[in-house]
Amino acid sequence: SEQLNVKEVLNSKISIYPNPSNDVFYIDAAALSKVEIYDLNGRMLKSFKDVSSNRAISVKDLNKGIYLVKIQSGETFEVKKLIVK
């Protein structure tokens, strides 16, 4: 299975909010092509394609905890930590 390689991007142009989140979150980015949500073991839990940058992404069905959100923007991607409470 594909493992998620996590590295923090210092000059990030992508932000997610609200964080912590309890039902939905939004992604603020110039261009989005794909969004994936992983648990801390690197297992993909959700995948969204063709996401608009103001679309609400639901995490209602996720348990409380810390997740990794892989956000693909064009040819690059960033990984953000998301807390679900």
Residue 51: predicted pLDDT: 79
84 confidence band (pLDDT: 50, 70, 90): very high
Is the pLDDT confidence value at 10 over 70?
Answer: no
Residue 59: predicted pLDDT: 95
Tell me what percent of the chain is helix, strand and coil, each rounded to the nearest 5.
0, 45, 55
67 vs 50, residue with greater confidence: 67
pTM for the full model?
0.82
List residues bridging with 16 in a β-sheet.
27
Is the pLDDT confidence value at 61 over 90?
Answer: yes
Is the pLDDT confidence value at 60 over 80?
Answer: yes
* For range 59-80, the mean pLDDT: 91
**Which residues neighbour 85 within 8 Å (Cβ) at sequence distance 6 or greater?**
20, 21, 22, 64
